[in-house]
């Protein structure tokens, strides 16, 4: 074991603060990564504040962070995919059983024994996993991604969660040319959703509660922007969407969006607010519409997404901050005041 510097929440109400954590020394299959940038996902805030208590209670201290980009510093004797000096990415998962049907099908995220990057049991240390708000991390090479060298690293970090979480359902539901696609909420996930829907060739409509984000949404690739609080604007799109991706972090009315779907249209939820939704029967049963969810994406698909981003030069629009501003960033994220992802420059942890 060795020590690593990190930022952790000591309780659901404590601000994140500097600390030292124990990491394992790399075993034969492990890659040790010096973390350069880590994105701030709204899931980090949900977990640091124990908002998902009923589903996955937070174990403290909690070191969040699952949008990790860095450089390999050390590899174990059996590692074949990475060598010291390589760029590397780590997303939301660091392990799974690799033998179940889900793993074999490339859906490690649905494996019953999947291990998330933080706040999950760590078989190596006997404690819980600690995430990317840290100077380094040690991960099995099968859960480490290759980051295209042409991408800006601060902007590439959020691809590891916000990127794959929006790319995966869009691929699954056939987003592409000739499709009308909606994205709800222009936050970290939503702005990646707009970029991917546009890059995949769909007619892309962004739904926002923030009128001041309209110009940005158009610049990011939206063909149209709808202010969701305006009933007239919403009504114009009634029954017309093939697919809608909902990336909102708070409670809101889903029925309003279900009504906008065409026959056989689908709305997929990736946002994970802690309170249950109320869904009316009639908007779903009329027109055979469907409502589903999606969780990040498998390792192979995450690599496919990174390669797609490398080819199309897609990164997240980031505001780079030092780790000392993480608590301020959380408060701003709650006010939808982020354009459009905070990316922590981990060099700030060294000072
Ligand atoms: P974020 O950056 O905070 O963005 C959320 C956006 O939702 C805001 O920018 C805002 O957009 C909109 N919004 C906020 N409050 C709202 C309200 N009361 N009513 C309507 N819209 C509201 O969050 P994020 O990091 O993108 O994450 C979004 C959600 O996805 C979180 O719940 C997170 O935990 C979850 N998540 C899920 C997965 C998965 O695998 N399924 C992966 C990562 C994250 P406008 O200003 O445009 O309205
Ligand atoms: Zn995330």
Q: Does 249 contact ligand 1 (Cβ within 6 A)?
A: yes
| Minimum-distance ligand 1 atom for the alpha carbon of 207 | 47
Residue 119 has a pLDDT of: 98
Residues less than 5 Å from ion ligand 2, measured at CB: 41, 43, 161
Average pLDDT in the 146-164 region? 98
CA dist 150 and 135 (Å) reads 23
pLDDT score recorded for residue 179: 98
Task: With a cut of 80, say whether residue 25 has pLDDT above it.
Answer: yes
**What is the distance in A from the centroid of ligand 1 to the CA of 185?**
6
**pLDDT recorded at residue 130:** 98
Q: Ligand 1 atom closest to Cα of 294?
A: 41
Q: Is 2 helix (H, G, I), strand (E, B) or coil?
A: strand
**pLDDT of the residue at 306:** 98
**CA 52 / ligand 1 centre spacing (Å):** 15
C-beta of 217 in contact with ligand 1 (< 6 A): no
Q: Are 40 and 16 in contact (CB under 8 A)?
A: no
Distances (CA, A) of 34 to 4, 134, 167, 324: 10, 9, 26, 19
- The tokens describing 122, both together, are 């760590």
Nearest to 341 by CA among 62, 137, 45, 130: 45
Q: Is 210 in the pocket of ligand 1 (CB under 6 A)?
A: yes
As given in the structure block, the two tokens for residue 312 are 């199309």
Displacement of CA 48 from its chain's centroid (Å): 16
Atom of ligand 1 nearest to the CA of 251: 18
Whole-number average pLDDT of the chain: 98
What does the pLDDT read at residue 311? 98
* Rounded percentage of the chain residues whose pLDDT exceeds 70: 100
- H/E run at residue 162: helix 162-172
Range 60-68 average pLDDT = 98
pLDDT of 351 higher than 90: no
Model pLDDT, residue 43: 98
- Check residue 303 and give left, alpha or beta (phi > 0: left; psi -120 to 50: alpha): alpha
164 lines ligand 1 (CB under 6 A): no
Q: Is the CB of 273 under 6 A from ligand 1?
A: yes
Cβ(109)–Cβ(117) below 8 Å: no
pLDDT digits (tens, 9 = 90+) for 266-302: 999 999 999 999 999 999 999 999 999 999 999 999 9
Distance CA 331, CA 318 (A): 16
Start-to-end CA span in the chain (Å):
23
Residue 335 CA to residue 99 CA, distance in Å, equals 42
Residue 185 Cβ contacting ligand 1 at under 6 Å:
yes
């Amino acid at each position: 074991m060795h020590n690593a510097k990190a930022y952790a929440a000591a309780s659901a109400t404590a601000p994140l603060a500097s600390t030292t954590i124990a990491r394992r020394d790399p075993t034969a299959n492990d890659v040790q990564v010096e973390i350069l940038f880590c994105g701030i996902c709204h899931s980090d805030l949900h977990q640091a504040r124990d908002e998902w208590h009923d589903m996955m209670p937070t174990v403290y201290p909690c070191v969040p962070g699952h949008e990790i980009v860095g450089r390999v510093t050390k590899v174990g004797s059996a590692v074949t995919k990475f060598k010291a000096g390589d760029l590397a990415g780590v997303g939301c998962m660091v392990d799974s059983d690799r033998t179940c049907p889900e793993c074999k099908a490339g859906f490690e995220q649905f494996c019953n024994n999947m291990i998330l990057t933080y706040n999950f049991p760590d078989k190596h240390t006997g404690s819980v996993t600690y995430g990317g708000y840290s100077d380094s991390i040690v991960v099995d090479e099968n859960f480490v991604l290759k980051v295209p060298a042409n991408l800006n690293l601060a902007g590439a970090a959020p691809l590891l969660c916000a990127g794959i979480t929006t790319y995966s359902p869009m691929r699954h539901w056939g987003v592409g040319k000739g499709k009308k696609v909606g994205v709800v909420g222009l936050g970290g996930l939503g702005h990646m959703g707009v970029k991917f829907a546009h890059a995949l060739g769909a007619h892309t409509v962004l739904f926002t509660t923030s009128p001041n984000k309209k110009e940005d949404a158009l610049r990011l690739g939206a063909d149209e922007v709808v202010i969701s609080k305006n009933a007239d604007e919403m009504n114009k799109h009634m029954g017309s969407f093939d697919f809608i991706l909902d990336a909102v972090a708070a409670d809101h009315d889903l029925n309003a969006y279900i009504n906008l779907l065409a026959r056989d249209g689908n709305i997929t939820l990736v946002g994970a607010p802690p309170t249950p939704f109320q869904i009316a029967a009639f908007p779903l049963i009329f027109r055979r519409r469907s409502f589903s969810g999606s969780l990040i994406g498998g390792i192979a698909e995450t690599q496919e997404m990174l390669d797609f981003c490398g080819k199309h030069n897609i990164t997240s629009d980031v505001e780079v901050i030092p780790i000392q501003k993480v608590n301020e960033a959380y408060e701003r994220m709650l006010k939808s005041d982020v354009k459009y992802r905070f990316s922590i420059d981990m060099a700030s942890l060294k000072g």
